[in-house]
Chain A
Amino acid sequence: MRIPPSILTLLAGMALVLFGLWVGQNVNLLPVDASANAPVYDELFRVLFSIGSILFIGIVGLILYSLVRFRRRAGESGDGAAIEGNLPLEILWTAIPAVVVLFVGIYSYDIYDRMGGMTPLNDHSMHGMQHSEERTWGGISPVALKADGAIAPLPVDVTAMQFAFIFHYPDSDITSGELHVPVGQPIALQMKAIDVIHAFWVPQFRLKQDVIPGQPTLLSFTPTRAGQYPIVCAELCGPYHGGMRSTVIVEEPESFAAWVAKNSPNPPAESHTVVQS
């Protein structure tokens, strides 16, 4: 019995969608997730990966099918069908991408909001760690993350320079070349650059923020997985740009407290406030 082409097309389309969804859910291209917003990011990534796989495989399949099915056979001459266009069809493939794109845009806005990216940064009543009255730029605000628990953010001053990041903990007056942070506590990085533009990037946190001279910038995140992850400068900053790397060490609150106690120049007074968790 001959199966009508419309049924075959429908089946092929369903198989394609299922395969795309499977690819998006099961092919993992990302590094381990180690911050509170990384799983949110990965959710967006899987959706985009699914949609992208469906579109790409579908279009490549159509091309290959056309090239085989409609190829010029030996000895064949003459032209194809004189079809100039088809308005309903063209409206259809304008409308479908428009809807998909609109959906993706709204969805990613929601994701960004959940990551704290849409929260105003200069509302001083919302976060108390703001040192000065100067404007703070960009970044991800800790406000949205605050709701997760009642833990106050741990402030860290970050200075980016050619070709290093310097981390200073104002509470315990520790200065370090590596970033030590406790699991589960929001971290508020107050970042500034002193020479050229750098960018603070931790791939496992799915976070990146340019650090621009003249623009103090806030970046907040909550580490969720203990381990050592690279801090990478992602903006061309000079000859040693590729070597401008550091490490973020995410550790259990106890070992972080021990690290603070060991390194702080004035341990008794300050370590208490930091290790409140």
Chain B
Amino acid sequence: MTLSLNPSESLQPQGWLRYLSFSTDHKVIGLQYIVCGFLFYLIGGALAGAIRTELVTPLSDFLPRETYNEVLTLHGTVMIFLWIVPVVNGGFGNYLIPFYVGARDMAFPRLNAVAFWLIPPAGILLISSYFITGAAQSGWTAYPPLSITTPATGQIIWILSVLLLGGSSIFGGINFIATILKLRRPGLGLMQLPMYCWAMLGTSILVVLSTPVLAGTLVLLSFDIIAHTGFFNPALGGNAVVYQHLFWFYSHPAVYIMVLPAFGLVSEILPVHARKPLFGYTTMVYSIMAIVFLGLIVWAHHMFTSGTPPWMRLFFTIATAFIAVPTGIKFFNWLATLWGGKISLNTAMLFCCGFIVNFVFGGITGVALAQVPFDIHVHDTYFVVGHFHYIVYGGTVFVIFASIYHWYPKVTGRMLNEPLGQLHFWLTFVGFNLCFAPQHWLGLNGMPRRVAEYDPQFTLINQFSSAGALLMAISTFPFLINVVMSAFNGAPAGDNPWNALTPEWLTSSPPPVENWHGEPPLVHEPYGYGVAPGQLSLEASSGRDLWNLGQGDQR
């Protein structure tokens, strides 16, 4: 039985117009997320360029001071809420999850389209606030009382925009949970799913549990601003620290909302290019769930200098440091996946390895930051800026690029240019480390974050950092040229250029509407590399049986 529609019967627009329409096709929506996110990445990158240009000299001489604070607020908000969260969740999640569970679309296709179409208006709203009245000036954290005392219009627009984006995120999260749990092809067990499904399940649980807290907090903050209530305003009897607790109850899990999907994507890419099964599937699943649980109870490590009581500092130190354990499991398992493989050192693999190196560095500084006495020296300094960018740029953004190099052939049916890709990787890797590694030293030695001017003794190191930022900006060009040129002139990819075993490669490139001509395949063993052809039996009752079959043959 086949359910696929004849394309001519579809009410959806055809051709490139699909991507500007209220399409309910998960692949179209996934691409809408990714392309839209990338446009905002360019804007956020330009804002970062403005920040690094200001910091070339120790004086505040490039941007007006208010504008500088608007720029740093917009940079953080755009990069987190309009680039990383939507792309790594909504973008790749929408494209891949229905393939992985053997479905023809997401559980709620219209909700899915609504979730995407909340993003462009929210983004345009946010950016336009800069041109209308001036954007918010209180950083992406919007701590009161500063956020109550800076110009109200920009702050209210910021709140509205983040509320819309939070709504989009919650819709997406509900959709992923429903799709993964309820839309699996009959016969496909939870422990047979590709790892990205588990990562998205964990992430979506975090989204659904924590985003509403942020939304409620921002609504209260907006009351403080426009109705002069006193929830967070000490001048009216409110408590500014309560805001910090509520804000970080979302915004720490937000880090895992940004990195867990990246962990999932790496778990898909590494086995394909190392030609080895993903090492330790079961421990990977449990470590994801452990990160989800621990991620919800560590938020106050952002507040070690906020006058929190000693017992609270102790608890949050231990809880935070323990996240290193499940995270460490994942990294050791990836190393074990590489060990003994037949590794193709292509661009996707390079970006994955760059991710591991950067994230391990950021993870080590993260464990150090979890220690209260360590943190009270470097909190709110460039050390934290460096650490954070190692996690979200060196971590997640590297994985986004790895994923684009890996799945571009599936999406377009054409290969990306490999030399241009390698150039992109090396420029990004060198630029990134040159930009952010020196910032750790700056923080240790006395440079606070979010400043437009600084002690002149830090000039040279800041110039190194800005040079790195320039390299990162330049690295975007080979990528853009590659993506655009290859769409027209790239070598035809065929359906499965990497000989991968996950289900999305078992259909045509690009895949048809509703994903498969005929029945979706039942893939019990998405990582069955190293098993002789013919031994991979779709009749095997479980992945374990299938596996033992293949292993016996090897020995």
In Å, the complex CA distance between A59 and B335 comes to 8
- Decide: A84 near B145, CB < 8 A? Known: A105-B321, A236-B139: no
**A199-B380, A217-B307, A235-B380 known; A94+B145 contact, CB < 8 A:** no
| Contact status A237-B146, CB under 8 Å | yes
Known A30-B445, A93-B332, A242-B454: A215·B345 in contact at CB below 8 Å: no
B335 nearest CB across to chain A (Å): 5
Which residue of A48, A89, A117 is within 8 Å of B372 (Cβ)? A117
Taken together as a complex, chains A and B put the C-alpha atoms of A105 and B234 apart, in Å, by 34
Q: B223: CB under 8 A from chain A?
A: no
Residues A104 and B340 in contact in the complex (CB < 8 Å), given A44-B374, A80-B274, A97-B328: no
Do A70 and B340 have beta carbons less than 8 Å apart?
yes
Taking CB atoms, residues of chain B closer than 8 Å to A19 are none
Check A66 for interface membership: any CB of B closer than 8 A.
Answer: yes
Least CB distance from B52 to A in Å reads: 15
Q: Which residue of A lies closest to B356 (CB)?
A: A63
Assess the A85–B342 pair: CB atoms within 8 A.
no
User: Across the interface, which residues of A come within 8 angstroms of B66, CB to CB?
Assistant: 239
- Residues on the A chain within 8 Å of B328, using CB: 93-94, 97
Q: Which of B439-456 contact A (CB under 8 A)?
A: 440-441, 444-446, 448-455
Q: Which of B99-136 contact A (CB under 8 A)?
A: none
Cβ A82 vs Cβ B554 within 8 A: yes
Within 8 A of A (CB), among B445-492: 445-446, 448-455
Q: Within 8 Å of chain B (Cβ to Cβ): is A256?
A: no
Asked whether A90 lies within 8 Å of B308 as measured between CB atoms, the reply is: no
Contact present for B145 and A41 (CB under 8 Å): no
* Binary A-proximity of B331-355 (CB < 8 A = 1, otherwise 0): 1110110111111110000000100
The answer to whether the Cβ of A197 comes within 8 Å of any Cβ in the partner chain is yes
**Does the CB pair A85–B310 fall under 8 Å?**
no
User: Any chain B CB within 8 A of the CB of A29?
Assistant: yes
Cβ B554 vs Cβ A81 within 8 A: yes
| Interface membership of B325, Cβ < 8 A | yes
Q: Which of B179-187, B193-201, B361-369 lies at the binding interface? A: B361-369
Question: Are A79 and B275 touching (Cβ within 8 A)?
Answer: yes
Looking at chain A's contact residues, is the secondary structure mostly helix, strand, loop, or mixed?
mixed
Which residues from B are CB-within-8-Å of A39? Answer: none
Tell me, rounded to whole Å, the shortest Cβ–Cβ distance linking A26 to chain B: 16
Q: Which residues of A contact B280 (CB under 8 A)?
A: 84-86, 90
Bound together, the chains give a CA A235 to CA B474 distance in angstroms of 32
Known: A98-B325, A196-B146, A197-B143. A67 touches B374 (CB 8 A): no
- Number of residues on chain B facing chain A (CB within 8 A): 96
CB-CB < 8 A to A5: which residues of B?
none
Question: Is B153 at the interface (CB under 8 A from chain A)?
Answer: no
Q: How far is the CB of A82 from chain B (nearest CB, A)?
A: 3
Q: Say yes or no: is B512 at the interface (Cβ < 8 Å to chain A).
A: no
> Is B149 interfacial (CB-CB < 8 Å)?
yes
> Using Cβ atoms and an 8 Å threshold, which residues of chain A touch B332?
90, 93
Describe B's contact surface by its main secondary structure.
Answer: helix
Taken together as a complex, chains A and B put the C-alpha atoms of A62 and B338 apart, in Å, by 10
Residue pair A236, B241 in contact (C-beta under 8 Å): no
**A74-101 contact mask (Cβ, 8 Å, vs B): 1 or 0:** 0010111111111001100110011001
Please determine whether A78 and B279 come into contact, CB atoms closer than 8 angstroms: no
B374 touches A93 (CB 8 A): no
- Nearest A residue to B331 via CB reads A59
Give complex CA distance A238, B451 in Å: 10
Inter-subunit contact B448/A234 (CB<8 Å): yes
Residues in chain B near residue A233, CB distance under 8 A: 448
Q: Does A206 contact B (CB under 8 A)?
A: yes
Given that A80-B342, A80-B529, A83-B276 are contacting pairs, would A30 and B368 also be in contact in the complex, using a CB cutoff of 8 Å?
no
**How distant is B497 from chain A, measured CB to nearest CB, in Å?**
14
Q: Are A97 and B146 in contact, CB atoms less than 8 angstroms apart?
A: no
- Complex Cα gap A116–B441 (Å): 26
Contact B137 A239 (CB under 8 A): yes
Interface code A230-271, partner B: CB below 8 Å = 1, 0 otherwise? 101111111111110100000000000000000000000000
Would you give the shortest CB distance from A13 to chain B, in whole angstroms?
Answer: 15
Contacts of B314 in A (CB 8 A): 109, 118
B281 contacts the other chain (Cβ, under 8 Å)?
yes
Report B249 CB to chain A, min CB distance, Å.
Answer: 18
Is there a chain B Cβ closer than 8 Å to A55's Cβ?
yes
* Structural contact, B377 and A90, CB atoms closer than 8 A: no
With A31-B446, A203-B445 in contact, is A108–B317 under 8 Å at CB? yes
How does the 8 Å CB contact mask read for A117-147 relative to B, with 1 for contact and 0 for none? 1111000000000000000011100000000
- Residue on B nearest A112 in the bound complex, by CB: B373
26 A-B contacts, Cβ less than 8 Å apart?
A44-B373, A48-B367, A56-B364, A59-B335, A67-B343, A79-B529, A80-B275, A81-B530, A84-B279, A84-B547, A85-B279, A85-B281, A86-B336, A93-B329, A138-B305, A197-B240, A199-B380, A207-B376, A208-B377, A214-B240, A232-B448, A234-B305, A234-B380, A236-B449, A239-B69, A242-B65
Chain B residues with CB below 8 A from A115, complex form:
373
CA distance A82 to B341 in the complex (A): 9
Interface presence of B4 (CB below 8 A) = no
Residues of B within 8 A of A226 (CB): none
Residues of A with C-beta under 8 A to B339? 62, 66, 70
CB distance from B322 to the nearest CB of A (A): 6
- Give the residue of A52, A67, A72, A236 whose beta carbon is less than 8 angstroms from that of B364: A52
A32–B529 alpha-carbon span in the complex (Å): 55
Knowing A67-B343, A197-B240, A242-B453, the reply to whether A108 touches B373 (Cβ < 8 A) is yes
Cβ–Cβ < 8 Å partners of A234 in chain B: 305, 379-381, 448-449
How far apart are the CA atoms of A56 and B338 in the complex, in Å?
17
- The yes or no answer to A148 lying at the interface (CB within 8 A) is no
A96 to chain B, nearest CB (A): 8
Q: Which residues of A contact B451 (CB under 8 A)?
A: 241-242
Which chain A residues lie closer than 8 Å to B149 at the CB level?
Answer: 195-196, 238
Query: Is B531 part of the contact surface with A, judged by Cβ < 8 Å?
Result: yes
Contact across chains for B145 and A195 when beta carbons are under 8 A apart: yes
Chain A residues with Cβ below 8 Å from B356 are 59, 63
A219 to chain B, nearest CB (A): 10
A105 near B317 with CB under 8 A, answer yes
